[in-house]
Chain A
Amino acid sequence: MTSKFNRRSFMRGALGGAAVVVAVPTLDQFLDNNGKAYADGAKLPTRFGTYFWGLGLTPGRWVPNKVGADWDMTPELSSLKDLKKKVSVFSGFRVHLDGRPNIVHWTGQAAILSGVAASKNGSFDAGTFDVDMADQLGGGMRFRSIEMTPFGNPRLSYSTRTGVGFNTPEASPIALYTRLFGEGFQDPNDPNWKPDPSIMLRQSVLSAVTDQRKALMAQAGAADKVKLDQYFTSVREMEGALASQLEKPAKCESCVVPTAPAETAKSGMIETVNKNNVLMGKLTAMALACNQTKLFNVVHTSATSETYLPGDSMIYHSHTHDEAIDEKVGYQVITSKLAGLAFQGYADFVSALEEIKEGDGTLLDNSLVMGFSDTGYAKIHSTDNIPMFFAGGAGGRHKGDMHVVGNGDPVSRVSLTAQQLVGMPVGSFGIGAMKTSKSVSEVVA
């Protein structure tokens, strides 16, 4: 971080303080005439994120009536109203179990992310597509991807290379800040940038570790090889990160180095989770704008969400099962309130990307954030009609403002579409009955 006072430093503090958000426009000299690329010809990168919240949404309270373009707003989606034009809604997609059990609060996210219903609780039968995406598209950044959860539980992550070990999330805003903007961060706009010679020595340390790779792998059986391979992949990612720090970073005017957020409370109270979520959204948005990473994965709350309303002795998960349907209104009232608040996490997060100007649009225009949950109806653990959303322009490839009805098609169609929209060279996704090569063309611009 620099210590100078300049236009950017004037902006600092927004994260830790009031909800005043001032977007800093990318200066014209950095951009070509079309505002789609930097002047040196480098395209503005497309970023991608997954955003999961637990327990779905309430039937009858979220699916728009209108199918196709210009969908109509519904009660539980109301937090997205200002961004509706940049959001696609997917309803009616489901998990094809392929003979596997419906593992409650697990099958849904497993199928969406790995392309196959899990056969066992606690692990997926395959790695998740975000990891493939990080491998293919995440290079050249300090971090191939960043995982986080505003709920504060360091085990809340569904991003996995092997299906067994899950990528560790940052579990508080300060931890996320430290990872992104602490040691190792280089301000891309620092005019006095010089390569840090100690980085080369740190690279040598890693070389000494990887020197033994071949010998170790030759001794290992299949399962150990998978684990060791993941370990060495992690080492390689760090080598890549160190290498990127030896290169002078490209200037990016949208980057405003934030100040550290204050220590925040850790609590299951939904308001606290959402406050942490807002902070994490702003930090992530700035990490994207500062070219620290192109990919992120957020788990707002677990699939058995333990969030609660202030003073309520019952947690959200218990309400979904225990609360009777109010005959007057036709739905579970407290559950719906909590569903709306959980979904607000997604809306707040993508809003943080929208608040940053980039090129002739916003950071969100150059991003795609796939929001999804584990169930279509938590009360009965349904894996039909799981709510799924795309927010952002994906660099002009995502049409937005569309409502697509899946009519029972597999959720993997939406996952495949997400991958293709951000430029993954994949023609199909999924395994067995979930395998599909049919993307959702209605949302492709």
Chain B
Amino acid sequence: MVRKSGFSGVSASVLAAVAIGSVGLATGFATETVSAPVAKKANAGKPGTIVGTRRLTESQYRNTIADVFGPEIQITGRFEPERREHGLFAIGSTELSISSGGFEQYYAMGRAVADQAFAEKSREKVFGGAPANAEAPDDAKAAEFIQHYGKKLFRRPLTEAEVAARVALANRGATQAKSYDAGLKLALVSLLTAPEFLFRVETAEQDPRNRKQLRLDGYTKAQRLSYLIWDSAPDEELFRAAEKGELHTQAGVDKQVARLIASPRFEAGSRALFTDMLQLDRFETITKDAAIYPKFSAAVANSAKEQTLKTLMHLLLEQKADYRTIFTSPETFIDRSLASVYQVPFVAPSGWMKYKYPDDVDQAGIITQVTFLSLFAHAGRSSPTLRGVGVNEVFLCLETPSPPANVDFSIVNDTSNVRLKTTRARLLAHAEDETCAGCHNLTDPIGLSLEGFDGLGQRRLFENGELIDVSAEYDGMEWEGAKGLAQVLHDHPDVPSCIVRNVYAYGVGRSPDEQEDLNYLGAQETAFANNGYKFPDLVKSVASSPEFFKIVIPAAPEPVTTDANVASRKATIRLAGGL
């Protein structure tokens, strides 16, 4: 197994042996700042340079549009598929561009958003009253409109050239259609289809305190904060703080982070983070055999996803409970369709009801919900291996390598062998094969303790007439069933390390794999433990730290090679940054 980088599994002695340098890592997280040296190569590290582009995720797109134009705007269309790297879409988003088919979709969505925003019902609400002459262009008013909405969509003020191009477009459109609104609508579509909107462009500027150093500019810092905490663009107050330079001071950052976390919109941000981390998007791509699992449907999938998020928000934000209780808490929420899957009565008139698993039922926490159990299973049966992989990857940040290519499965799959009649026996036979054992010993015991649930997540005691054995042994630990596994995870030191790593990686869009990242994450983990494993405190601590604004200076573009099909080149990673 490969431990995801940025993980506390590094021994304390290794951490202690590494110089911390000028980045403060103890409580209070440093008032000292670190910046990137201005590079000599062209385009690499120049002031005003782009230090990262991250394609907006679907939820970021939706949330941003709702914030700017109102929640009633309908967005229908197909978003470009996202890509999970090191466990997170947030990291994969830094590698993605937009294909031609994808651009067609963004263009269509942009037109639809503009149409709705200018529809009679919402026009006044969004843009104010009608212009003096509704049938003619008005460059001055158009420029005002473009600057106002451009800033919200590009997450920074527009340049003069960016405004001028849209004013000219609005003028042409208004003239041709004899409609001021028609021209403005075209300008809005051009904003909604621009790379500066569809990608979160991160830029750096010269640090005035040290002109040889770079730092993220204020607007980039603002969007890092708002997308981590709200999953949306900065609001006016955050823009103001960016404009005034307040995000270059610890006090300014602390104030804004506290405000963002205190907002009810923190829930949207937290939901987005857990949707990514728990891979809830996979409901879009899995299928279940209707003949075997007739209760599975798109509605059940949606309910299951909501159940998991509701449970997490209830525990982590409302109750401010210890993060590790997500594995052990008997409290959850169900709706009618889930009650049917779980085979329990639904007594609310409609919607959702709180539900507590009875003490005598082997069920607790989010890994015994339909979400986890069905996502990490096959179309027609459970899979202890997939569930083990899921627990390792999602909650312990342990990546599973690809299986070796040249494995002979014939011994394991010889069904005439009386020892290997059951799933358990067949899987445990992997342990006897050295090639397989390395990984299967780390996955299968976890999954076998969840065999009391079928491939949909329905409880069961028997499989093919045999009582299911849910005992497990792993890494010197022995446990029984789902609740046993829940307690093992609750007590596992890698569980808090993993969420610390994920919050940071999700926020900065990079796998933290440099040694100084590990030092930093180790300190964050200690703070997390000292604060009683409170999730909001973790987010606050990460977002307030100078390391949250670190810069990865990209490699300079290389000359075009003549070798066909040049792959994208990895950036040379050089870390620096801070407040």
Residues of B within 8 A of A218 (CB): 43
**Nearest CB of B to A325, in Å:** 8
Q: Does B415 contact A (CB under 8 A)?
A: yes
Known: A197-B176, A321-B413. 9 other contacts (CB 8 A): A121-B402, A129-B565, A163-B565, A205-B189, A220-B554, A223-B568, A238-B104, A313-B378, A324-B415
**Nearest CB of A to B97, in Å:** 4
Q: Does A194 contact B (CB under 8 A)?
A: no
* CB-defined A-B contacts under 8 Å, sample of 9: A126-B566, A132-B564, A168-B105, A208-B166, A224-B52, A234-B99, A324-B413, A382-B405, A431-B565
Annotate B379-404 by CB proximity to A: 1 below 8 A, 0 otherwise. Answer: 11100000000000000000000111
Q: Does A429 contact B (CB under 8 A)?
A: yes
Q: Does A54 contact B (CB under 8 A)?
A: no
- Which of A129, A225, A308, A382 has the most chain B CB atoms closer than 10 A to its own CB? A225
Please, which residue of chain A has its CB at the minimum distance from the CB of B52? A224
| Whole-angstrom CA separation of A206 from B106 in the bound complex | 12
Residues of A within 8 A of B83 (CB): 122, 164-165
Annotate A359-383 by CB proximity to B: 1 below 8 A, 0 otherwise. Answer: 0000000000000000000011111
Q: Which of A10-18, A30-38, A209-217, A436-444 contacts B (4 or more CB under 8 A)?
A: A209-217
Residues of A within 8 A of B285 (CB): 152-155
| Whole-angstrom CA separation of A128 from B567 in the bound complex | 10
Residues of A within 8 A of B289 (CB): 267-269, 308, 311-313
B405 close to A205 (CB less than 8 A): no
| The residue from A146, A166, A226, A267 contacting B568, defined by CB atoms under 8 A apart | A226
Residues of B within 8 A of A127 (CB): 565-567
A114 close to B565 (CB less than 8 A): yes
Q: Which of B6-14, B190-198, B320-328 contacts A (4 or more CB under 8 A)?
A: B190-198
Annotate B503-533 by CB proximity to A: 1 below 8 A, 0 otherwise. Answer: 0000000000000000000000000000000
| Whole-angstrom CA separation of A325 from B49 in the bound complex | 60
B161 close to A211 (CB less than 8 A): yes
Please, which residue of chain B has its CB at the minimum distance from the CB of A167? B99
A155 close to B81 (CB less than 8 A): yes
**Nearest CB of A to B40, in Å:** 14
**Nearest CB of B to A146, in Å:** 8
- Which of A175, A231, A308, A310 has the most chain B CB atoms closer than 10 A to its own CB? A231
B175-201 CB contacts (< 8 Å) to partner A: 176-177, 186-187, 189-190, 193-196, 198-199, 201
Annotate A265-284 by CB proximity to B: 1 below 8 A, 0 otherwise. Answer: 01111000000000000000
Q: Does B53 contact A (CB under 8 A)?
A: yes
| Residues of B that sit less than 8 Å from A by CB | 43-44, 46, 48-53, 78, 80-81, 83, 85, 95-105, 107-108, 159, 161-162, 165-166, 168-169, 172-173, 176-177, 186-187, 189-190, 193-196, 198-199, 201, 203, 284-285, 287, 289-292, 378-381, 402-410, 413-416, 455, 553-558, 563-571
Q: Does A39 contact B (CB under 8 A)?
A: no
| Whole-angstrom CA separation of A8 from B517 in the bound complex | 66
B405 close to A238 (CB less than 8 A): no
Please, which residue of chain B has its CB at the minimum distance from the CB of A114? B565
A126 close to B565 (CB less than 8 A): yes
Q: Does A72 contact B (CB under 8 A)?
A: no
Residues of A within 8 A of B176 (CB): 197, 201
A214-247 CB contacts (< 8 Å) to partner B: 215-216, 218-228, 230-235, 237-238
Contacts across chains A and B counted by CB atoms under 8 Å? 267
Q: Does A44 contact B (CB under 8 A)?
A: no
Interface size class of A (residues with CB under 8 A): 35 or more
**Nearest CB of A to B429, in Å:** 12
Q: Does A144 contact B (CB under 8 A)?
A: yes
| Whole-angstrom CA separation of A244 from B100 in the bound complex | 16
Residues of A within 8 A of B104 (CB): 179, 238
**Nearest CB of A to B45, in Å:** 9
B195 close to A165 (CB less than 8 A): no
Residues of A within 8 A of B408 (CB): 380
Residues of B within 8 A of A315 (CB): 378-380
B194 close to A323 (CB less than 8 A): no
A168 close to B49 (CB less than 8 A): no
| Whole-angstrom CA separation of A231 from B292 in the bound complex | 43
- Which of A121, A223, A322 has the most chain B CB atoms closer than 10 A to its own CB? A223
Please, which residue of chain A has its CB at the minimum distance from the CB of B170? A208
B554 close to A223 (CB less than 8 A): yes
Annotate A101-144 by CB proximity to B: 1 below 8 A, 0 otherwise. Answer: 11110100000001100000110111111001000000000011
**Nearest CB of B to A410, in Å:** 15
Please, which residue of chain B has its CB at the minimum distance from the CB of A310? B291
**Nearest CB of B to A272, in Å:** 9
A380 close to B405 (CB less than 8 A): yes
**Nearest CB of A to B113, in Å:** 13
B413 close to A323 (CB less than 8 A): yes
A380 close to B169 (CB less than 8 A): no
- Which of B46, B405, B408 has the most chain A CB atoms closer than 10 A to its own CB? B405
A226 close to B569 (CB less than 8 A): yes
Please, which residue of chain B has its CB at the minimum distance from the CB of A232? B195
Please, which residue of chain B has its CB at the minimum distance from the CB of A138? B100
| Whole-angstrom CA separation of A321 from B455 in the bound complex | 20
Q: Does A147 contact B (CB under 8 A)?
A: yes
Residues of A within 8 A of B50 (CB): 216, 219-221, 224
B172 close to A266 (CB less than 8 A): no
| Whole-angstrom CA separation of A388 from B382 in the bound complex | 34
Q: Does A355 contact B (CB under 8 A)?
A: no
B402 close to A104 (CB less than 8 A): yes
Q: Does A420 contact B (CB under 8 A)?
A: no
**Nearest CB of B to A437, in Å:** 12
| The residue from B173, B380, B407, B567 contacting A201, defined by CB atoms under 8 A apart | B173
| The residue from B291, B414, B568 contacting A162, defined by CB atoms under 8 A apart | B568
**Nearest CB of B to A332, in Å:** 10
| Whole-angstrom CA separation of A121 from B405 in the bound complex | 13
B565 close to A220 (CB less than 8 A): no
Q: Does A250 contact B (CB under 8 A)?
A: no
**Nearest CB of B to A344, in Å:** 20
A285-343 CB contacts (< 8 Å) to partner B: 306, 308, 310-315, 318, 321-325
Annotate A150-180 by CB proximity to B: 1 below 8 A, 0 otherwise. Answer: 0011110000011111111110000100010
A163 close to B564 (CB less than 8 A): no
| Whole-angstrom CA separation of A375 from B455 in the bound complex | 28
Please, which residue of chain B has its CB at the minimum distance from the CB of A379? B409
| Whole-angstrom CA separation of A234 from B193 in the bound complex | 11
B165 close to A212 (CB less than 8 A): yes
A164 close to B49 (CB less than 8 A): no
**Nearest CB of B to A130, in Å:** 11
